[in-house]
Amino acid sequence: MSETRLGWPEWQALEAHARAVRQLHLRRLFEEDPGRFERLSFRFDDLLLDLSKNLVTDETLRLLLRLAERADVPGWIARMFAGERINHTEGRAVLHVALRNRSGRPIRVDGEDVMPRVEAVLARMRAFSEAVRTGAWRGHTGRRITDVVNLGIGGSDLGPRMVCRALRPWGGPLRVHFVANVDGADLADTLAGLDPERTLFIVASKSFTTQETLTNARSARAWLLERLADEAAVARHFVAVSTHREAVAAFGIDPANMFEFWDWVGGRFSLWSAIGLPIALYVGMDRFEALLAGAHEMDEHFRTAPLGANLPVLLALVGVWYVDFLGAETQAVLPYDQRLERLPAYLQQAEMESNGKSVDRAGRRVGWHTCPVVWGEPGTNGQHAFFQLLHQGTRLVPCDFLLAAEGGDPYPEHHRILVANALAQAEALMRGRTEAEARAELEAAGLSGEALERLLPHKVFPGNRPSTFILYRRLDPRTLGRLIALYEHKIFVQGVIWDVNAFDQWGVELGKQLASAILPELEGGATGAHDASTVGLMQHWRNLVGG
Ligand code: F6P
């Protein structure tokens, strides 16, 4: 087991400090310190990152920043931007920042500047998306394309799906749909309303070997050919996004209809690449490029700002603080922004596939905790679901609130109510309601005696429940780019602190292998060696389907 971090004086100082912080209460910290918000909130242009409602003091941040220095966060940032193969288990560089590099500076992998290739694909995406959007690109029978279906899963689905949802005000004239699940219901429900003559499929798969995506692609092709009855139709209705030209050709998609990206783009960091094609088709290439520009601005901030004023670094460190020193097991993401409703799902992959690891970069079991369980829902819906636990449950759940100052919809009154709720929830979590306050309220409501005493403990809110508040002017392509990049770099920094490789995902392999072994058995092949539960479930399945 690796105990490296545990032996560092910087780590031990945080452990000792955590014992002191456990005695504090946020409400008192605010009462005693009028400068708390000013000192513990950080700005990047209009984006405000308020850390002051976290269980931290100035000393906590000082100690966390020392930890970041000790883990060589600045060195790792430099290595990433320099194109080093920091994804060492796969021997790959990690350069999603190159996909949105607007600086004109070269970014090199093994001495080769990758920017010309990035620019070339962006140019092809522009030409193609404009052709489809304007109707210059037609379907096989000469009809205009009205619907685009992205067939992809994980990083080839979650990013573009989340972004298209977030940018709906800019969407159209094309409709964009996403099919990820191998459950045929996903494809069937999507195709049900579509006209094959007017539908364009994007098969999005970095590896072009993913079972779910290829299964959906085969069925989609069959659906198309069943109706258009001409193999030549595939060329007008199927394009691919992949790193594997041969696999795309083998599948039957003309490589001329393939948009390339590269092995130095991790799947969960790929929405900035041609994987973002559905975004370009939906909102237009100018908006897609505004998204890239926003992300690039955050990249530049991350690359150049000192650690103590660096938003992704600070966000990461506060997360580490909860997981490793205060015992939090989960992290809630609460966008008070309906159009960010897919952000929690997107971050589940980004964070948990990146840092859900238990061996360090040298392959030793880590002696500390790594990624928390990430979950969440938009506010105010969550308030009527799980907020009870956040306010009065037994667990420490750090929360991220995200909120736009301006709503951008035709209901200004709604937006003020939304803002009030977001602010109120964060305040309530922090302040709580003391027994004296609860008593006074009950008395004011006319209760007294035994009835009051019986109800009183249920009306007390302990408070001291931490949250980070991210407030921005409005959710537009540029801001969205900044927000996503903020979280991407947070994840990177946490991986450095936890000493894990945030860019591989070996943990998804075993289940895939076992599924490949079980499938032929379900199709009548010989039964392999399984545990009694798997055998029993298979048998019951056979009984139910009459096999
Ligand atoms: O879930 C494992 C994974 O490899 C993800 O990392 C990736 O985003 C997803 O599968 C899809 O992979 P591909 O783009 O190669 O189809």
Condensed to tens digits (0 to 9), the pLDDT of residues 257-293 reads 999 999 999 999 999 999 999 999 999 999 999 999 9
| Co-location of 489 and 358 in the same domain | yes
| Co-location of 196 and 214 in the same domain | yes
Q: If you measure from the C-alpha of residue 281 to the centroid of ligand 1, how many angstroms do you get, rounded to a whole number? A: 22
Burial letters 425-438, b for 16+ CB under 10 A, else e: bbebbbbbbeeeeb
**Which residue spans within 154-281 are E strands per DSSP?**
175-179, 199-204, 238-242, 258-260
| Choice from 89, 90, 153, 208 to test ligand 1 binding pocket (greatest atom count within 8 A of CB) | 153
Q: Alpha carbon of 134 to those of 162, 172, 173, 199: distances in Å?
A: 24, 11, 9, 15
- pLDDT given at position 409: 82
CATH number at 189 reads: 3.40.50.10490
Determine the Cα–Cα distance for residues 547 and 541; give it in Å rounded to an integer: 8
Residue 452 domain-assigned?
A: no
Determine the Cα–Cα distance for residues 387 and 429; give it in Å rounded to an integer: 10
Q: Alpha carbon of 513 to those of 210, 505, 529: distances in Å?
A: 12, 14, 14
Residue 87 domain-assigned?
A: no
pLDDT band at residue 481 under the 50/70/90 scheme: very high
C-alpha dihedral sign at 164, 165, 171, 176: positive
Are 523 and 382 spatial neighbours (Cβ–Cβ below 8 Å)? no
Q: Helix, strand, or coil here: 81?
A: helix
Are 151 and 202 spatial neighbours (Cβ–Cβ below 8 Å)? yes
- pLDDT given at position 402: 98
What atom in ligand 1 is closest to the CA of residue 207?
A: 15
Residue 2 CB contacts under 8 Å (≥ 6 apart), including other chains = 360, 362, 364, 365, 366, 367, 499
pLDDT band at residue 463 under the 50/70/90 scheme: very high
Q: If you measure from the C-alpha of residue 19 to the centroid of ligand 1, how many angstroms do you get, rounded to a whole number? A: 41
| Co-location of 377 and 348 in the same domain | yes
| Co-location of 343 and 255 in the same domain | no
Q: How many CB atoms are closer than 10 A to CB 138?
A: 15
Determine the Cα–Cα distance for residues 29 and 53; give it in Å rounded to an integer: 9
What atom in ligand 1 is closest to the CA of residue 267?
A: 8
Q: If you measure from the C-alpha of residue 204 to the centroid of ligand 1, how many angstroms do you get, rounded to a whole number? A: 10
pLDDT tens, residue by residue, 168-198? 999 999 999 999 999 999 999 999 999 999 9
Beta 175-179 vs 199-204: how paired, if at all?
unpaired
| Co-location of 310 and 273 in the same domain | no
Determine the Cα–Cα distance for residues 481 and 479; give it in Å rounded to an integer: 5
Residue 482 domain-assigned?
A: yes
Determine the Cα–Cα distance for residues 261 and 409; give it in Å rounded to an integer: 36
| Co-location of 35 and 137 in the same domain | no
Determine the Cα–Cα distance for residues 119 and 139; give it in Å rounded to an integer: 27
| Co-location of 161 and 249 in the same domain | yes
pLDDT tens, residue by residue, 294-342? 999 999 999 999 999 999 999 999 999 999 999 999 999 999 999 999 9
- The answer to whether residue 384 is catalytic is yes
- Which of 237, 265, 289 terminates a domain? The answer is 289
Are 500 and 71 spatial neighbours (Cβ–Cβ below 8 Å)? no
Nearest one of 214, 261, 269, 273 to 238, comparing CA atoms: 214
| Co-location of 197 and 127 in the same domain | yes
Determine the Cα–Cα distance for residues 189 and 281; give it in Å rounded to an integer: 22
Tokens, residue 54: 């976290």
* Residue 13 structural domain: 5-70+305-415+466-504
Residue 366 domain-assigned?
A: yes
Q: What are phi and psi of 81, to 5 degrees?
A: -65, -25
Q: Which residue has the tokens 């939304």?
A: 418
| Choice from 508, 510, 512, 513 to test ligand 1 binding pocket (greatest atom count within 8 A of CB) | 508
Rg (CA), the chain: 26
Give the range among 355-364, 365-374, 408-417 with minimum mean pLDDT.
408-417
| Co-location of 521 and 534 in the same domain | yes
Q: What are phi and psi of 123, to 5 degrees?
A: -65, -40
Residue 295 domain-assigned?
A: no
Q: Is the ipTM of this complex over 0.85?
A: yes
pLDDT tens, residue by residue, 44-61? 999 999 999 999 999 999
| Co-location of 147 and 228 in the same domain | yes
The overall average pLDDT reported for the chain is 97
- The answer to whether residue 414 is catalytic is no
Helices (H), 82-114: 96-99
Helices (H), 167-200: 184-191
pLDDT at 387 over 90: yes
**Options 197, 353, 377, 488, the catalytic residue:** 353
Indicate the pTM of the whole model.
0.98
Determine the Cα–Cα distance for residues 338 and 376; give it in Å rounded to an integer: 12
pLDDT at 495 over 90: yes
- The answer to whether residue 300 is catalytic is no
**Pocket around ligand 1: residues whose beta carbon is below 6 Å from it?**
153-156, 205-207, 210, 213, 267-268, 353, 505, 508
Residue 35 domain-assigned?
A: yes
Q: If you measure from the C-alpha of residue 352 to the centroid of ligand 1, how many angstroms do you get, rounded to a whole number? A: 13
- pLDDT given at position 140: 98
Residue 477's H or E segment, with its range, is helix 477-498
- pLDDT given at position 547: 63
pLDDT at 526 over 90: no
Tokens, residue 440: 């006074």
| Choice from 87, 151, 156 to test ligand 1 binding pocket (greatest atom count within 8 A of CB) | 156
**Options 15, 31, 59, 384, the catalytic residue:** 384
The count of structural domains within the chain is 3
Residue 373 domain-assigned?
A: yes
Determine the Cα–Cα distance for residues 170 and 283; give it in Å rounded to an integer: 5
- Across the range 382-404, mean pLDDT stands at 98
| Co-location of 190 and 270 in the same domain | yes
pLDDT tens, residue by residue, 408-454? 889 999 999 999 999 999 999 999 999 999 999 999 999 999 999 99
Cis peptide before 380 (omega within 30 of 0): yes
Residue 89 domain-assigned?
A: no
Q: Which residue has the tokens 């799906």?
A: 161
Q: Alpha carbon of 107 to those of 77, 242, 290, 459: distances in Å?
A: 14, 21, 20, 58
Q: Helix, strand, or coil here: 399?
A: strand
What atom in ligand 1 is closest to the CA of residue 268?
A: 8
**Options 3, 246, 443, 512, the catalytic residue:** 512
Are 330 and 77 spatial neighbours (Cβ–Cβ below 8 Å)? no
Q: How many CB atoms are closer than 10 A to CB 160?
A: 29
Are 405 and 337 spatial neighbours (Cβ–Cβ below 8 Å)? no
- Across the range 82-97, mean pLDDT stands at 97
- pLDDT given at position 546: 84
Q: Which residue has the tokens 């992300």?
A: 295
Residue 512 CB contacts under 8 Å (≥ 6 apart), including other chains = 211
| Co-location of 118 and 224 in the same domain | yes
DSSP 144: B
Tokens, residue 348: 């589940």
Q: If you measure from the C-alpha of residue 11 to the centroid of ligand 1, how many angstroms do you get, rounded to a whole number? A: 34
Residue nearest atom 6 in ligand 1 by C-alpha distance? 267
